[in-house]
Amino acid sequence: MARMTALVPALLVCALAARAEEPHSITVRGRGTVTVRPDKLILVLGATGKAEKASDAVAKLKTKVDGIKTELNTVLKDKVQVAAAIKDSGLSFGSGADQMQIMMGGGREDAAAEVSVTTELEVTIPEVDKMQDEDLAVIVSMLIDKATEAGAEMKPPVNRYNPWMAQGAAGVYFGFTDYATQVEKAWDEAVKKAKDRATAIASRLGCEIGSALKVRDLTHGDGGAKQSNPYAAMMMGMANDEEGPKIKSSGKMELSVEIEVEFELKKK
């Protein structure tokens, strides 16, 4: 018992010493926001070839794709002053009509015996942020009209963007050439604001800040990106990839990030 009694003061001294060594700190938040406009147009088109024989379906698709590309290039060469690109996604094979379509009355029973070959054409036009909205609207409408006249389908691709965007001008998106750089600018601002706030508060207390002890990322979901157009913001939230959100509007949007930082607090 006497031995235990002797240990208590020793443990108390150790605890107080450890507590005394813990640095005083101040915790603040910083939010960084940049306003940017998407700088590239992404037009996604679908094309399909159907026939009883797979070879005939592929041949039909090739003819259709060649025609679509010819019409697209006619518009691009005439209306676009910068280098545009047309990328082919490759071939996908399936039946001419799936069983669900037939059951719902959306497909023919004899079509199930057909072979269906599909592909996607992705048209990318850079530097659209330098265009006037009126000029951009003309280019987009001409591309859509010419492509659909040549047999292209305006439908959202399932894998890369948003499979729920089945209404409206599906297939027309806007994105960013260097999305990461824009987000980095927001992070720089968030860190600066957190540090400035901590410095100002510490100064009023007769103290100064030291090193950052803890940092928490408080940014949620799509990086805090939002747009003045509510419809575009809603759509954008479900359509992100490594290049940033693919949105339905060419208008400006805000990219915001937020952090919480615990700084060491020291006497001056």
- For 185-253, the DSSP string reads HHHHHHHHHHHHHHHHHHHHTTEEEEEEEEEEE---TTTT-EESSHHHHHHHTT-EETTEE-BS--S-E
pLDDT (0 to 100) of residue 26: 96
Backbone CA torsion sign across 84, 89, 91, 95: negative
pLDDT of residue 168: 42
Asked if the model's pLDDT at residue 233 lies above 90, the reply is no
pLDDT reported for residue 9: 52
Q: Say what the pTM is.
A: 0.68
More confident residue, 241 or 84: 84
> What is the CATH architecture of 23-37+179-267?
2-Layer Sandwich (3.30)
The class that CATH gives domain 40-175 is: alpha beta
Domain ranges of the chain: 23-37+179-267, 40-175
pLDDT for residue 28: 97
Reported as half-sphere exposure (CB side, CA atoms, 13 A), residue 71 has a value of: 20
Q: What is the average per-residue pLDDT within 59-83?
A: 93
Residue 111 has pLDDT above 70, yes or no: no
Say which range, 96-110, 122-136, 168-182, 237-251, has the weakest mean pLDDT. Answer: 96-110
